[in-house]
Each structure stands twice: as structure tokens, then as C-alpha cells.
Structure 1
Amino acid sequence: MTDPTSLAGDRRHDLDALRAVAMLLGIVLHGAMSFLPWQGAWVIQDTRTSSAFGVILSMIHGFRMPLFFLISGFFTAMLWRKRGMQALLAHRFKRIVVPMVIGLLTIIPTIWIVSIYVGYQVSQSATEDAATGSKTNDPVDADGFVLAASRGDSDAIESWIQKGRDVNAKTEDGSTALHVSILFGHYQTTKQLIEAGADVNARNQRGERCIDSLQAPWAVTAFVAGMLKVDVTEAEVDQGRSRIAKLIDDRNQSDEASMMLAGKTTASQAGTEPAQGSGLGQLKAFLLYFPILGHLWFLWFLCWLVLGFAFVVSIARVTGIGTLPSGIAISRLRYLGLIPLTAIPQSLMNQPGNMFGPDTSLGILPIPTVLAYYAIFFGFGALYFESHDREGFVGRRWWITLPMAMVLIYPASLAARSLPEEVGHALQVLCEVSYAWLMCFGLMGLFRRFCSTSSKTMRYISDSSYWLYLVHIPLIIYLQYFVREWPVPPWLKFSLVCLVSSTLLLASYQWFVRYTPIGTLLNGPRRRPI
């Protein structure tokens, strides 16, 4: 085998291949979403689920996008050094901004259409089952109980209470029925739950109390409602929350309720969110949280990061500062700086839906903590290019680094959740950022060892990965719906969804994209073999 430290020319085949794998893991991640055992995690839920999918998803999510942005920073610095800043900006506009705009006008609406169709079909099926008596309104587990509360189903809640079941039962993310009942302003079910002993201060795994749902912005509420297929309006939610706040105050269970709802927990106290009822607060919530970008958010982040890179380079030139010492990227002590630095934005993340790793920012305005988090990885990638690591120092001990991250650090993060809140949160943050960096460096070393030489197959996969990731979600959702009720193990259905979607998408790339203007836009011109 060729010495992996001897790379062909200036092209980093190993990082090119690794970037493609990071993109394609997105298909695996989204393909597994319907097999999660908790309600509302995805557009559709399969009839066969397994909690093991949650482990796989969190392990992938914990490193995939940090790795992608690290490599993007590397290639951004490479392009700047080779062609200059003007060529860099022109290239990124063509390969990032234009595909993103086209995707927002085509792919994202297609996802909405497919999601609405699939949701309608599932809803019709459930209605028919209920009409024939094949299913009842009585939830049989914590997930069903919480889902019933999200829909304001008083009969189901009463049935649960009458049978003596735990009204504080939690889903796998720690949410209770009272969390969602308050979120959607369902006064009657909230009253039932509180009278039955539900704890308004119960916290989920993100540290959010039930009572905190009173302050959830409408954009977030509407997004969760869409995921859970809950039919509510903003006026109904506001009115319901007002009654709930008074109910809680009257029972002396929390003197915060009215203050929170009125928005008196302001920036002077919480340091972040304006009052929910203010126009500025509603606009900010919409810009930050409404998921208009969908899975194309990473392109929007790249735009910000490239502009930030150009700004830093320009400032360095004007001031004569020069470049940062690139040797820190390959220093043995790099972890001592990277882990604490990355832990700062990670510790401030608490977006709903996050269980391990960084939050996702799907709105028009990037969430500052999320942008700062990925900027660290992007900046390191740029410094790593400047370091000229010809000896492959970073990731050299991948055979130790990768097992350490997956077998030691990841389980330690899960164990930290059972510790007292402050200690547990600090340890979890430390484990999350350590896991991300160890996985990034370990995979860089692994791919440098085995993928450092030119490969036509790997180059083809690299070229096609951009297209596959951009357009995969509508097909994934429909295939998940198609296999939803098959009486076969979830792992088999998951494998079929990923295999069939990847095959069809590769065929579409070969026949309709690679040698067309679309392929030129995404990857540059490719010559059809004679």
C-alpha cells in the first residue's frame, strides 16, 4: 500500500472522501428517524421501533457536522491560497449560495408537500382504525400518554388517571404530559393533570420545566405542533396559557407563572429572550426558530463562515498582524485549548429536541451559540491547512482515538444525566465536545491511512454526495411511509430505506445531473466518458 503520508499533488483525497462520507451519513441519520420509539421525533413513525436507533443517531450527530465544517474550513483556506479572495468568494457563491436558493424554492417545498401527504394518509388510517374499533383512545405507554396530552385529549388523560398510572411519566427525552399540555395551551388537560398530582417543575433532559412551556415562542410551538400533527392557532395557545398561568398561581404551585407569561423574565433576568407577546420578540423567534431552511441550514452557515473568514483575512492584511500561529493546529496540546473553547457555546445550547451534541439552527438568523460552535471547527480547519501537516500528525493514533470516543466518552455522557444537575450538565458538555474532537481527529487519521490516494470510485462518490444530500429527504420520507406497517424487523426496513433511496438517488445523479448544468453548478464540469 502507498505510504499514506505521501499525498498525490496538492489534492487531499482523504479529506475529500471524508467530507463525502459526512454528507452521506445524513441519509443514514434521516433514514433512521422514523424508527425512533418516541412520538413526534420525525414526520412519520414506523410501527416497529427500537431505542438503539437513538444511540446511532446521537453518535452520528455528535461529530458529523463538526467534521464537515472542519473540512470546509480546510478547503476554504486552500482555495484562498491558490486563487485569492475574489475567486474564493465567487466560487462559494456559485457552489453554495445559488444551490441553496434553488433548493429553498424547490426541495424544501417538496419536503413540505410530501410530509403533508404522508401525514394525511397516516391520519386517515388512524381514523379508519378507530372507526372499526381496532384501536382505542386509551394510551398504553408514556409516549401515547404524552401524545394524548399534546392533542388535548381529556378522555384519554382521564382514562390514564383512573387506572392509577403515573401522571409524571416521561418519554425518553424526559418530557411529561404536562410539558406539552402547557405548550399548546390545553387548559382542561392541564387542569386534569395538575389535580392528579402532575409536577409543574418537572424537568426534561434539556433542563426545561413544564412551567417553562408558558414562554415558548410561537414559532417553536408551531414547529412542534406540525411535527406532532396538533391543530392549534396562536390565539388559542395564548388564551390557554393565560388561563393555565392563573390556574397555577391560584394553586400556589409556582409564583412565576404570571410573570413568565407576561414576559417579565426579561433580558435583565434571563439574558436572552424578549417578552413573548412583543412584536420584536415574535419577529426574533420567527427569524431564529422557524425551520424555513430545513436540512439546507448548513449551506447558510457556510455563507456566514466564509464571509467571516474573508473579514478576518482582510483585517489581518490591513493591520499587518499576519496569520495566527498555525502550529497550534498540530500541537500535542491542542486539546487543552479546543475543548474548553468549544465547551463555552456547547454549554449555552438548550434548543428543544437536542439530546447529545450541538443544537441545529434552521431559521433565517443563525442561533449565535450554534454559529460560534461551528466557527471553531471551521477556523481550526483553516489553521490546519496552514500547518502543512505532511507527516499526518493529526489523527495519527486513530486506532486509539476512535474507540476512546465511542466506548468511553459517549457512554460517560449518558451516565452524566443521572448526576446532580450542575455537575451532570458540566460533565455532559465536557464529554460532548471531547467526543466531537476525538471523532474528527480519529476519522481524519483513519481516512489519511486508507484513502490518501486517488480513487475513481471514491471521487465519484464524493461528486455525487452533494446532490444526494440536497434531495434525499422527500424520497426518504415517502419510503418510510411505504414500509411503515410492514410486519418485519425495523433494522431490515431501515436498511431497505437507505439502500433503495441511495440507489435511486445515484441513478438520478448519473442520468440527470452529472453531465448537465446542474452537475456543473454543484461540482464543476465533468466529461462524459467516450
Structure 2
Amino acid sequence: MSDHEAAPSGSGPARRWHDLDALRGFAMLLGIGLHAALAFFPSFWPAQDRGATDGGGFDWFLYAVHGFRMPVFFLLSGFFTAMLWRRRGTVALVAHRARRIVLPLALGMITIVPAVDWVSERATQGSIDNWAMGAAKEGDIWLPVLLGQPDAVPVAVANGADVDVRGDDEGRPLHLAAFMDLPDVTQELLDAGADYRLTNKDGSTPLVVAVWVGSERVADVLVTGGAADIRADDQQWQDIEWFGQGALFKQLVLEPEVEDETGLDSWIDQFHHLWFLWFLCWLVAGFALIAPLANEVGKGIASAKVRRRLLWIAFPLTLALQARMGDSGAYEAFGPDTSTGLLPAAHVLLYYAVFFGYGAAAFGARTDDGEPLIDRLGQHWRIVLPATVVIFLMAIDATFGDEPNRWGSVVLQVLYVWGMTFGLIGLFRRLLSGERYWVRYLSDASYWMYLLHLPLVILAQDWIRDWDIPRIPKFLAICWGVSGLLLLTYRYLVRYTPIGTLLNGPRTRPEPSPSVAGTIDGS
């Protein structure tokens, strides 16, 4: 996603921020590792590895990366958006972003998103068994029943689960199996000693529940297992007057209709990992409307120091928006919430808008001696990055520790995201401020790699999840294998093709040196 365009005629050569290009590409490539890690600790990810019985450090890796990756990306996107606007104007900016963002998003919605849906559905079927078995080994009998996994029931019992444990409505696992029409699970529960005579808060036995929801199969299993048959002589289950009266209620519970918050019957359900392109559409549109007015206001502020101080407003804004994450603290959350629908969650969009706006304002900001502010932001990275690691550990403890501290967590997470942002800007400026061909190449390739990686990652996770090897080698194999494949496709199918032009602008194949050309020609 290259933004460095030639300066207008007569304005002199345009500077290229190689370090910021590299950092933006790094943020994209980290997404491959982040999504690869999701298979290796307990979570409802489509392809759950069979060894994902605990965090294993992968959960911490996820929190660490998620806590800063996209804020850094959006800050840099704001910076490059402002740069393009300054050099070429609003109309050219909108046209450029339409080519590089809107069109790839539209194409992705009819290619990449369906591919993610397909591989996710395929992988989820295999994950259900792992989820159920993982819970069963912890002595949880409810999840195996809920997921309809009969083989996990005796495992749960062997690990101390009470087969007749009471639920919130005083129902038992047998009631749940009957409600969900799971005859095989019902049989396993009976074989494990479940009492079919116990009632829920409504005074209903599992057999009554089975008849009410219209489950003949479960009713037959219960009667065969010893439950008193409630039918009259020669009567079928369907002949009972109230048979199946709860079927509609069951459907509403198990398959609730989700109201379209946009008020539109949109076919767009999820952008999946392409949500960031949709957010950029909103942010660039907002920038195109606000930037001319903000520019006029800024002309009235002569002092560079005052302009820099105005940037500090980003920090309390980040704090206020971070407090909204996790449903305003209803559950523990690290980093920003995720919003992948057609109408972005307002607090998430505003959160990223703060970073986008900071980056845009930073493009025109200068130090007192006239140096671009962006070049000074991370000058103390040697101190900031180690301190931010300590802040991360404190934030994890405040969020997920034995004694969670909500406001401590919010403050520490804000310190973490800004510390990582400034620290990485400084580190990349120190290491990659000069042009390096391989860094430029990876920066260009990162856009294509991120767009295409998710279905490949899920396929790889699904393929190797049952291999009897440790999780770390699996994780590295997925990251390296998928990245290597995507680099090959970029090299041979994308870089010098219309796809590459769409994503990064035109690229010219390097000409062989005269000595090489002479050798080829036989001279």
C-alpha cells in the first residue's frame, strides 16, 4: 500500500519515509502471526489445536500484539494520508484511496471473505471435538452436551464431573440434551448414571422436555433407559396434544434472529480481517471533509510549540475510548474491541480515528528547529520500549490477575499502546531510515500478504492441529509456510501485474546489469 507519490512539478523531490513504510508493513505482517496464534490457546477460533489446553504464552503474545498493532497502522495511515493530501490535493487523495482501498475491499468481499467463510466452516467441525474434549478433561460436562459430543461425556465424568449437576434453571445435563434433541448424548448420560427422574424449576423431567420440543428420538432413548412412558396405549409421540409446542422456542434460543443494526437487509455480514479497509474508507472520507477546515484554523496558530501541544489531546481521548472497551468493563478485555460489521461500532471507529488523526496532524508538525516531528517522536526508544514491556506485564495483571483493577488496566493499556507506538517509530528510524531493497520489497508485499493470509492460515491450522508435536513448532510452521507461499505468489503473480499496480502502484522489473546482459547474450 505505497503512498509515496512524486511531488508536483516544481516542488522538488518528495521525501520517502523508508522507516515508516517498513513499520507499517511490519504491523501488517504481525497480523499473520496473531491469527496463527489463535489456534494454540483455548478460544472459539475455527481451527482449534488439540494441544490448546492452556495459554502456553500464546495468549500473552496475542494481547501484546493486539494491544498496539492496529493503532500503529492507523497512525501511519493518517500520516501518509496527510502527506498525499498536502502534495496532491483532496480530489487526487480521494481518487488514490478509491483505487488502493475501496476497490481491493470490493474485490475482497466477493473472493477473500467467502473463502474465509468456507474454510472456517470446514475447520469448525473439527474444532468442536477439541473444545468438548478440552472442557471434559477439566471436569466440565455442560460444554460437551451443548456441543453435542457424546464421546466427551464419559471423559468429563472420569474427570470428576457430576452427571446430575444443577444448572442455573435447576435443569440437569439430561434436560439440556433433551432440549437440543441429542439422543446419543442422552444415551451416554444415562450410561453414566444420570437420573431421568430429576426435574427442573418448572417441575419437568427430561422426558417432558423432549416431548415439548418435539424430540421423538430422545423420548425413545429415555423410555428405553427406564423413564415412565407418558403415552396412552398405542399412542404415538405426535399424538400427545402438547408434542412439539416448544419447537419454536427452541429455534429462537438456538438460532436467534439477529437484528440488522444498520436498518438495512445487507448481504454483508462480516468483513472479517478486511475490516481495516472499511475503517479506512470512513476515516479518509472524514479527513477529506475536515482537513481543509483544519488547515485554515491551523494557519492562525503561528507557534510550532502550540501546534505540538494540541496533539496531547489524543491521550485523554484514548483513555476515554479505552474505557468503553469490553462493554465498558463488563468483561475483561485487552486492547481495542473488534468491529467487523457494516456499521462500525462507534467507540472502536473513534478509537482508531484518534490515532489516524494524530498521524495526520504529525505530518505537518515541526520541532522548534524545523525538523519534522515524526522524526523525533521515538528518539528515546531505548528507554521507552523496555519501560513499555514492564507496563505490559502490569497491564496484564491489572486486567486478568487475581485482583483485577479496571481503571488501572485502562490507564496501563493506554500507556502501553502509546509507548509501543513511539518506541517502534524510534526503533525503526534507527535501524531502517535508509533505503534497503529487501525492506522496500517486504513493505510492498505486506499488503497482498495480509489480504490473502487468513484462509491460508486457517487451512494450515486445520491441517496440522492433530499432529503430535509441540505447539511452538506448529505455530512457526504456519507462519513461515503461509508467508513463504504468499511471497512466492507476490513475486510471480502480483508485483508486476495489474494486481500489483492496484495495490502498490506500478513496479518496473529491474534491468539486468550490463555484465549480466553480456553474459546472457554470449558476449
TM-score, normalised on structure 2? 0.71
Counting only pairs closer than 5 Å after superposition, residues 205-224 of structure 1 correspond to structure 2 as: none
Superposition deviation, residue 514 in structure 1: 0.4
Q: Tell me the equivalent position of 2:413.
A: 432
**Letter paired with 1:450:** L
**Aligned pair 1:480/2:468, yes or no?**
no
Q: Tell me the equivalent position of 2:381.
A: 398
Distance 2:154 2:265 in 1: 39
**Aligned pair 1:29/2:34, yes or no?**
yes
Cα 1:307/1:282, change in 2 over 3 Å: closer
Counting only pairs closer than 5 Å after superposition, residues 115-264 of structure 1 correspond to structure 2 as: 115-120=120-125, 139-141=136-138, 145=141, 147-148=143-144, 150-151=146-147, 165=161, 236=250, 238-239=252-253
Distance 2:134 2:74 in 1: 46
Distance 1:354 1:187 in 2: 31
Contact 2:138 2:159 in 1 (8 A): no
Superposition deviation, residue 140 in structure 1: 1.4
Contact 2:364 2:372 in 1 (8 A): no
Contact 2:138 2:156 in 1 (8 A): no
Contact 1:288 1:367 in 2 (8 A): no
**Letter paired with 1:478:** L
Identity of aligned residues (%): 41
CA offsets, 1:324-379, max 9 Å, x none? 77646755x966x4332101111112259973100011000010000010000000
When the two structures are aligned, how many residues end up with a matched partner? 422
Q: Tell me the equivalent position of 2:106.
A: 101
1:44 to 47, 56, 62: 47
Q: Tell me the equivalent position of 2:445.
A: 464
Distance 1:178 1:306 in 2: 48
**Letter paired with 1:341:** L
Point out where structure 1 has 5 or more consecutive residues left out of the alignment.
1-7, 130-134, 170-176, 197-232, 242-275
Contact 1:326 1:384 in 2 (8 A): no
Contact 2:179 2:250 in 1 (8 A): no
CA offsets, 1:237-270, max 9 Å, x none? 53579xxxxxxxxxxxxxxxxxxxxxxxxxxxxx
Superposition deviation, residue 165 in structure 1: 4.7
CA offsets, 1:103-151, max 9 Å, x none? 010001111122223334667xx5xx9xxxxx98981116x64632542
CA offsets, 1:17-48, max 9 Å, x none? 00000000001111111111x142x1111122
Cα 1:240/1:353, change in 2 over 3 Å: same
Cα 1:321/1:509, change in 2 over 3 Å: closer
Counting only pairs closer than 5 Å after superposition, residues 374-413 of structure 1 correspond to structure 2 as: 374-388=352-366, 389-390=371-372, 392-413=375-396
Moved more, 154-163 or 517-526: 154-163
**Aligned pair 1:359/2:355, yes or no?**
no
Max Rg structure: 2
**Aligned pair 1:338/2:314, yes or no?**
yes
Q: Tell me the equivalent position of 1:85.
A: 90
Contact 1:58 1:355 in 2 (8 A): no
**Aligned pair 1:514/2:495, yes or no?**
yes
Cα 1:23/1:393, change in 2 over 3 Å: same
Contact 1:152 1:186 in 2 (8 A): no
Q: Tell me the equivalent position of 1:524.
A: 505
Moved more, 337-346 or 63-72: 337-346
Superposition deviation, residue 287 in structure 1: 8.7
TM-score, normalised on structure 1? 0.70
Cα 1:428/1:150, change in 2 over 3 Å: farther
